[in-house]
Chains A and B, each alone.
Chain A
Amino acid sequence: MYAQMVKSTGQGVKSLDEMDPQERAFQERINRDEKIEPKDWMPAAYRKNLIRQIGQHAHSEIVGQLPEGNWITRAPTLERKAILLAKVQDEAGHGLYLYCAAETLGVSRDELTEDLLSGKMKYSSIFNYPTLTWADMGAVGWLVDGAAIMNQVPLQRTSFGPYARAMVRICKEESFHQRQGYDIMMKMANGSDAQKRMAQDALNRFWYPSLMMFGPSDKDSVHSAQSMAWKIKMNTNDELRQKFVDQTVPQAEYLGLTVPDPDIAWNEEKGGYDFTEPDWSEFFDVIKGNGPCNVERLAARNKAWDEGRWVRDALLAHGEKRRAARVVAAE
């Protein structure tokens, strides 16, 4: 998802009997659905895991601005441009809510940023794919934001208070993103032959990368088991992927577009669609840095950070000077 392959302790989940009293009290609070707040005691591994997960989620929101930013100056109408601008601004806001949530765990904003820029921390694999046509803006909103919503809605109930509250705000705004994407797809799919081809092409390119967003099957993963015990992950990757496919296939049919998987078929017995798994070797390759746009994305973030340094420093110096002047005036 926006946070893929987050590693936890690497050990199995401890039973309540194996925990020391402090740890047991903590786990029991989580089991009772009590929220953990920043100043509460928490196991070091819970803190570390959450910093990784929320940080990766925040980075995904920030890097996720780039593929769409690519089309702001090329939107087909002024209205579409204003809408896309508002959406990209929302992504920046989502990144900021999440960075703030991570900061309550004791990591600084600059540390998180630098770990993204050095490649130490990851962001979602999906943003390493290019956005080649205007129809991609439709596919990204419909599929990528749609997949994100699948993951984020349950995270509103996550055990860490600041993360859950950030998710509530994000989910409220995310629905606009998906609907504006589908609206673009409807326009294209009902347009000229060329527009329809473009819409189909966008679906073809984004289908499997969207399925990859949920991450590889984790039903046997110790990391996932621990995260689920801590309620910082609410569903398995496979559950969410299935839900996404079940929701999306009829939406594609409504558009008159074909999901690029010849084996898609309704399975009455399981009450969901059977579908082809994405190519996981491609996923691991993209995560490793070899996707079509990894280099470009990180270069763009590094450039923005480096070239903005003088502005950050100047504003800080100005703020400190004025604070100092006020103190002198008060004395």
Chain B
Amino acid sequence: MSSVSPSPYPETDEKADKPKRHEWPLWEVFVRGQHGMSHRHVGSLHAPDAEMAILNARDVYTRRNEGVSLWVVEARHIAASSPSDKGPLYEPSESKIYRHPTFFDIPDDVGAM
């Protein structure tokens, strides 16, 4: 990977020269919808610390029984692949069709496999 960026969001050109403001940190919110499912990203919010982030996430993202468990992580801790790496990262898997079970013809006589 040529460019892993730790900053979640790009700067706009017009704002780039302005000083950073003193805002509550940005948190990404993950909700487990039901027992047995994995947590899924639902959005983000600002909060001064993890405890408040959980409470805010409860109010913002689970007002209608959307979840049974919450994760919050500060956005600056998320490293993301760059869109320009899409080719080098994912193309190699396209040619490896033998990774899929349907690649192999097994005679019906063999039975369930």
- Chain A residues within 8 Å of B, Cβ to Cβ: 37-41, 44, 47-48, 51, 86, 89-90, 93, 96-97, 100, 103-111, 165-166, 169, 173, 312, 315-316, 318-319, 322-323
Contact = CB atoms under 8 A, between A and B. Distances in A.
| Binding site secondary structure of chain B | loop
B15 A89 contact: no
B24 A312 contact: yes
Contact of B48 (A96, A165, A318): A318
Nearest to B41: A165
Interface string B45-88: 11011001000000110011000000000000000101100000
B15 A106 contact: yes
Interface stretch (B4-12, B92-100, B103-111): B4-12
Contacts of B43: 97, 100, 165-166, 169
Interface in B1-37: 5, 8-15, 21-26
Given A37-B83, A39-B5, A109 B49 contact: no
A316 B60 contact: no
A47 B9 CA distance: 13
B12 A107 contact: yes
Contact of A315 (B15, B21, B24): B24
A106 B45 contact: no
Contacts of A173: 63-64
Contacts of A105: 9-10, 12
The 6 closest A-B pairs by CB, nearest first: A319-B48, A319-B49, A106-B12, A315-B48, A100-B44, A110-B21
A109 B9 contact: no
B64 to A, nearest CB: 8
Contacts of B23: 108-110
Contact of A89 (B14, B22, B46, B63): B63
A322 B25 CA distance: 14
A51 B49 contact: no
Contact of A100 (B12, B15, B45, B82): B45
Contacts of A312: 24, 48
11 contacts: A41-B83, A47-B12, A51-B12, A89-B59, A106-B15, A108-B21, A111-B21, A165-B43, A316-B24, A319-B48, A323-B49
A107 B22 contact: no
A165 B42 CA distance: 9
A315 B51 CA distance: 11
A93 B59 contact: yes
Nearest to A94: B60
Nearest to A106: B12
A96 B13 CA distance: 24
Contact of B9 (A41, A106, A111, A165): A106
A111 B26 CA distance: 15
Nearest to A104: B9
Which of B10, B15, B21, B80 has the most chain A CB atoms closer than 10 A to its own CB?
B10
Nearest to A93: B60
